[in-house]
Structure 1
Amino acid sequence: MLRSIFRALKQEQLIFRNPTAGIQASAGVHLPLPLPSDRLAGVLDRLDGSASRLIVGLVAIHAVRAVEVARLDLADADLARRTLAVHRGEHTHTVYLDDLSTHLVADWLRERRRRWPQAANPHLIITSHSYRHPASPQLSYCALRAAFDQIGLLPRQVWADRILYEARETADPVHLVRLFGIHPNIAVKYVHAAHPDKALPRIR
């Protein structure tokens, strides 16, 4: 089934080679589990500050990895087109912002301009320590974790839960690849976790 997914993606020119060629499936794959609904309810309302809401929001809504959020530049956020460019090596995944995400980005940009109008650091999310640092560092892991610590969750848990939720809704690994820009075998893993008793549809 994984090979058929890769063939479908290659036909649509989403990938250019089949990395599963010659690979045999292994047993004992660890499948993700959903978070209890009460741990995610009102997550954004429990966060302090527009930067924390944007960090957690991008992970929780669009499954952008926290480390990718830290690497974002100002130029990657295009509010006019309502898009966010997430760079992954030589590939760029385009996130199409919904109303809430657009609001989160706009709120943070207003605060950023208000607090540090002369900031030299080109990264989207900066702090009082990094905004004029000569090396223009990206957001630190500690700063990232501080946002998630407010809700008692790890970035990885929130990221995984978002993909698992979408997998439950669609049961379509190709859709997960397109929406989140994840690797096809990760998409298959989450569809299996969401629908353990359902065979994947044949992809042509």
Structure 2
Amino acid sequence: MGRRRPIYLDELTHRPARQWLAARHRRGPATTSPYLLVTARTATDDSEPPVSIEAINKPLRAHGHQAGRLRVDRILNGAQHTDDPLHLIRLFSLSPAPP
């Protein structure tokens, strides 16, 4: 598994993620899957790889969305609601573009 780092969630993201994890725990409290998003395989076998980027992007594209554009929209929306650039950097794991 790759390097782990904290991911800070805004309340809009944290609340449904917390609710989803609670609902998942109620339905399958014995699951050992460490993944937030699960497939039929990863829900029962945590040795399976996590949900792939393609598995996330395919349904988004079917509805005319792109994950990258959604992320940019979230960042721009966050920038409209705070004057704290460090908050945005931490919240969205931003880093300077390579030279």
| Equivalent residues of 1:121, 1:130 under 8 A apart | yes
Query: 1:124 maps to what in 2?
Result: 36
TM-score (norm 1): 0.37
Counterpart of 1:135 in structure 2: which amino acid?
Answer: S
Write the mapping of 1:7-22 to structure 2, written as runs, cut at 5 A. none
Structure 1: runs of 5+ lacking an equivalent: 1-70, 72-87, 187-204
Match of 2:69 among 135, 144, 157: 157
> 1:151 and 1:115, CA in 2 relative to 1: closer, same or farther beyond 3 A?
farther
- Greater CA radius of gyration, 1 or 2? 1
Counterpart of 1:109 in structure 2: which amino acid?
Answer: L
Distance 2:46 2:83 in 1: 47
Structure 2: runs of 5+ lacking an equivalent: none
Distance 1:175 1:107 in 2: 24
Shift of 1:158: 0.4
Give the number of equivalent residue pairs: 98
Distance 1:171 1:102 in 2: 21
Write the mapping of 1:74-89 to structure 2, written as runs, cut at 5 A. 89=3
Q: Deviations over 1:2-40 (max 9, x none)?
A: xxxxxxxxxxxxxxxxxxxxxxxxxxxxxxxxxxxxxxx
Q: Which portions of structure 1, spanning 4 or more consecutive aligned residues, are displaced by more than 6 angstroms? A: none
Do residues 183 (structure 1) and 95 (structure 2) align?
A: yes
TM-score (norm 2): 0.64
Q: Deviations over 1:52-100 (max 9, x none)?
A: xxxxxxxxxxxxxxxxxxx9xxxxxxxxxxxxxxxx846x2441441x4
Percent sequence identity over aligned pairs: 29
Distance 1:184 1:177 in 2: 10
Kindly report the root-mean-square deviation, in angstroms, between the aligned alpha carbons of the 2 structures.
3.4
Shift of 1:104: 0.6
Counterpart of 1:111 in structure 2: which amino acid?
Answer: A
Shift of 1:183: 0.6
| Equivalent residues of 2:78, 2:88 under 8 A apart | yes
Counterpart of 1:184 in structure 2: which amino acid?
Answer: P
